[in-house]
């Protein structure tokens, strides 16, 4: 009985802030709500029918998966490249580690302000370098790429730390023996380093997918889902339904859809974790 007493605070915490709100979300998704978000009438699956019949919702699903594709893989590749660059401990390695991991310590709000100045159509750094005035955040053809670039930059730090740890844990004897055998750098990377990094790569791959699905702050501050809903990812769509239109029931339906999508990816992660990952 004593172990359960130690678990009681955690159980109460999860019941209060996780399970009860989740159950309330399910109840509200089958109801009509008032302006205070309280269920007033049961409507069955009508909210789900209306949601999946909405062109805006379908578009938000497409935009979300497009956004995840634009962010997840590039974030990992950049983080891996930086980890490989900083893998050898030198005099300046501490400076590299600090510089490459800094984005992790910056919240999405100040990051959005920094990148708003970079993306400024006339005075921004990007327009100056390219010698071309482009309203990157207001152009439907470039807005999602601009927001994705900000998100990649925000994610680089945590990817760098995980992958750098993995690179430095690779036994030096393996690298040295491959060099004696005449292996090139890319042969060492492909045959030794990447297989040895598979646990970290597998973890950061799904971590970046989840973080991309949850991206909100930069979307809200940079584009507010526009222009023409080209950056209206599912998380921002949920926020808009609840706090712009006061349709809390629709926001709950979309929240459960997002939960289902992330649950699928989590189950995929658990299923394939031991099939493509080499721990030794």
Per-residue pLDDT, averaged over 114-135, amounts to 87
Per-residue pLDDT, averaged over 60-78, amounts to 95
Q: What pLDDT score does 248 carry? A: 94
Residue 41 has phi, psi (to 5 degrees) of: -155, 140
Bridge partner residues of 141 (DSSP): none
Q: What pLDDT score does 191 carry? A: 85
Per-residue 3-state assignment (H helix, E strand, C coil) for 202-246: HHHHHHHHHHHHCCCHHHHHHCCCCCCCCCCCHHHHHHHHHHCCC
Among 3-12, 17-26, 121-130, 222-231, which range has the highest average pLDDT? Answer: 222-231
The CA distance from 255 to 7, in Å, is 29
pLDDT in tens, 226-245: 899 999 999 999 999 999 99
pLDDT of 257 > 70? The answer is yes
Domains of the chain: 1-44 (no CATH), 54-272 (1.10.3720.10)
Higher pLDDT, 3 or 229: 229
Q: What pLDDT score does 275 carry? A: 63
- Neighbouring residues of 93: CB distance < 8 A, sequence distance ≥ 6: 86
Query: pTM of the full predicted structure?
Result: 0.88
Q: What pLDDT score does 172 carry? A: 80
Provide the CB-side half-sphere exposure for 159 (13 A, CA): 29
Q: Could you tell me the CA-to-CA distances from 258 to 10, 68, 173, 255 in Å, in that order?
A: 25, 13, 45, 5
Per-residue pLDDT, averaged over 75-88, amounts to 89
pLDDT of 192 > 90? The answer is no
pLDDT grade for 85, boundaries at 50, 70 and 90: confident
């Amino acid at each position: 009985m004593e172990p359960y007493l130690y678990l009681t605070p955690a159980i109460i915490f999860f019941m209060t802030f996780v399970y009860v709100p989740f159950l309330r979300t399910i109840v509200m998704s089958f109801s009509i709500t008032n302006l205070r978000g309280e269920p007033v009438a049961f409507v069955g699956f009508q909210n789900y029918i209306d949601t999946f019949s909405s062109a805006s919702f379908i578009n938000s699903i497409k935009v979300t998966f497009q956004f995840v594709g634009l962010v997840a893989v590039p974030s990992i590749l950049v983080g891996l490249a930086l980890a490989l660059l900083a893998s050898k401990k030198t005099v300046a390695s501490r400076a590299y580690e600090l510089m490459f991991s800094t984005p992790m310590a910056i919240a999405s709000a100040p990051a959005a302000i920094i990148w708003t100045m970079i993306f400024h159509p006339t005075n921004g750094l990007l327009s100056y370098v390219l010698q071309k005035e482009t309203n990157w955040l207001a152009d439907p053809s470039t807005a999602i790429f601009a927001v994705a670039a900000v998100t990649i930059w925000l994610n680089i730090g945590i990817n760098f730390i995980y992958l750098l740890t993995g690179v430095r844990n690779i036994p030096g004897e393996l690298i040295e023996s491959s060099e004696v055998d005449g292996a090139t750098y890319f042969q060492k990377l492909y045959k030794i380093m990447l297989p040895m990094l598979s646990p970290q790569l597998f973890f950061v791959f799904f971590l970046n997918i989840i973080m991309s699905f949850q991206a909100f702050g930069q979307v809200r501050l940079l584009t507010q889902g526009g222009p023409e809903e080209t950056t209206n990812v599912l998380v921002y769509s949920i926020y808009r339904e609840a706090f712009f239109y006061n349709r809390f029931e629709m926001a709950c339906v979309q929240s459960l859809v997002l939960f289902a999508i992330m649950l699928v990816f989590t189950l995929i992660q658990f299923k394939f974790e031991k099939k493509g990952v080499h721990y030794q």
